Every structure is written in structure tokens, then in C-alpha cells.
Structure 1
Amino acid sequence: MNIVLVGYRGTGKTAVAELLAGLFGLRAVHLDDEIERKAAKTIPEIVRDAGWPAFRDLEEAVVARFSGQDGLVIDCGGGVVEREANFEALRAAGPVIWLQASVDTIVKRIRDDVRRPPLTESKSFTDEVAEVLARRTPLYQRLSHFAIDTDSLSVAQVVNTIQRLLIATWDSLNSD
């Protein structure tokens, strides 16, 4: 079994994945890093050279590869919900946990992140986050088994919450 983390950039997925992996004796896999490795380019370079659809194609291939493995904490990029094909693969891989945060929290956490190109054109950064988050929220809701608001929680508190959720629901998760 795997544990799958989804959510917008800046919600804590990468840090939580590392701690969860250590706690459960699993391996953390960061899909954005795997996409960059597969393409031998950074995400901004992929998008600049080939566009968002090409990036999503790479992402879909990487999701398929890792969701078929076992013993992982899969840290998904924020836009993994943009492709329907990823839903079935990720839900079959293990419990999907949506890490949430408010627009203000996300903006504070990722304002200086240069790893990702803009997702919309001619919007302020805050407006872009609000617009994209509004579009993706119903997709995250549909994909996830659980949701955790990370606004006021430390990484350790998020990990403890996930641990409690998984222990409390272990039997039902394994019967899906």
C-alpha cells in the first residue's frame, strides 16, 4: 500500500511526505522531481519548451509508474487533478489525503517559489492562486479520501493527524 498526498503548492505535501515515509518505513517519491528527472529539464523549462499539455503528459506517465508500485508516500504536484486518468491510478494506489490551506497561507508560503511558471496569464499572484484553487477544489474533493487543513498546523501535527486517520480507518481502507 501507498499513501498519496495531493493539494495545491505550499500546503505542505513535500515536508509531510518525508516525515510520513520515515514514520511508516516507506519511501517518499516527489512526482515533480521524477518528472524533471524523466525530462532532464526543470518544470519551467518543460513548460517553456513544450507547454503545459506536454508537462501533463509526463506527469500522467509518472503517476502511472509510481501508483503501480508499493511502499511509497507519493507527493503529487498540485495539478495532478487536471487529468482524469490520474484519478483511478492514485485512488487505487492507497489512501489519498488532500492537504488544504487558504489562499492567504498558500501565497505566503510560495510567493518566492521560482520552480513553477505561472498557471494563468496577466493575473496578480494572489488572484492566480485563488482562481486555480477554486477550479481545482472540487477535483481534490472528488479524488481524496481525507482532507486536512494545514493553515495552522505544523508538519509534525499534520503527520500525527494522518497517522490517526489511517489507524482509525485501516480496515475500511483495505476493503476498497
Structure 2
Amino acid sequence: MKAILIGFMGSGKTTVGKLLAAHLTLPHVDLDKKIVEYTGKEIKEIFSQYGEKKFRELEQKTLVEQLDKKGVLSTGGGTPISEQNLKILQAVKTPVILLETSLNTVLKRVAQSQDRPIINQLSRNELLELYNQRAPFYQRCADLRVTTDNRSPLEIVEWIKNNL
């Protein structure tokens, strides 16, 4: 991998990842989409049928399988919260780039989403709590940090390209 993107849900990991990959003429890999491909089930189905623990196990297996491939990897918002994934992301030679996004921006981006099993279950206060719980994990494995608020995906991509 050329770059690994991490951040809270709605931070732009997939959007920026696709654009960055296109600019670098590399494939884009979305970790959640790979999990869907492997299991034949949507993420929300995996959560509802098997729970978050099983999903995190699938996520770790898929993460490890993708690391040696060419491309730009967009992780899920919770990928770094598992201790095993955190250690993997800290040890990998590929730059891990944190897309930092304020909670207000996240809420604007994902308010109507039906494809995010966690956000649909949480109140604003619970979402803020989750946001604050995950932030230290993101910080612990990020090699680079870019604020995405008030920046277009192209501006973020340019920043990343200039700092890789």
C-alpha cells in the first residue's frame, strides 16, 4: 500500500481514498467493501447477525491480507480501535494518514446514512462519546494528520500528495 487512511465515520476516507488512488494511478481498496466481498453480506447484516466482535475479527483478517498489495487503503472508522489492528497499523511501513474531522462536520455528512450500523443506533451524546473514545486510537497510529473540515476532497488529496 502507498497510503492507509483512517478516521471517524464520515471523515472522507473512501472519497479521499478513491481520489488519491486515481491521482497516484493506483487501485483504491475500501476495507469494508473487501469484507462485503469476502462474506457476501453487507456490513449492517454482519453487525446484526454476528455482532461487532465478529465484524472486528473479519476486519483484522482483511486488513492483514490487504497490506502487501498496491494501492490506497481506506479503513473503516473503527479499524484502529482493536488492539491487534492498532499494533498492525503502528508497525506497518506504509504511511497511516488520519483524516481529522469535527463532530459537526461528521453529523452533516452522515446524518441520513442508512449504511452505517453504529451511527443509526446512537444519540448525539452517544456519538460524541464514541468520537472521543476513538480519537486516542487514531492519534496513536497516525503518521500524518490532515484536517478535512472546510476542505474539498481535492484539497485534501493535494495536501496528502505533498506530504507523502
TM-score bracket, normalised by the shorter chain, equals over 0.9
TM-score by length of structure 2 reads 0.93
In structure 2, what is the equivalent of residue 38 of structure 1? Answer: 38
Does 2:46 match 1:11? no
| Correspondent of 2:143 among 142, 145, 151 | 145
Residues paired across the two proteins, number: 163
Structure with higher RCO (Cα < 8 A, 6+ apart): 2
Of 80-89 and 25-34, more deviation after overlay is shown by 80-89
User: What is the CA-CA distance between 1:119 and the residue it aligns to?
Assistant: 5.9
Show CA shifts across 1:121-142 (max 9, x none).
6x41x22321111001010000
In structure 1, what is the equivalent of residue 2 of structure 2? Answer: 2
The percentage of counterpart residues that share the same residue type is 34
Write the distance in 2 (CA, Å) between the matches of 1:120 and 1:133: 14
In structure 2, what is the equivalent of residue 101 of structure 1? Answer: 101
CA gap 1:160/1:118 in 2 versus in 1, 3 angstroms: same
In structure 1, what is the equivalent of residue 73 of structure 2? Answer: 74
In structure 2, what is the equivalent of residue 87 of structure 1? Answer: 86
Q: 5+ unaligned residues in a row in structure 1: which ranges?
A: 167-176
Larger radius of gyration: 1
Is this contact kept in 1: 2:86–2:137, CA < 8 A? Answer: no
| Correspondent of 1:156 among 148, 154, 157 | 154
Is this contact kept in 2: 1:31–1:76, CA < 8 A? Answer: yes
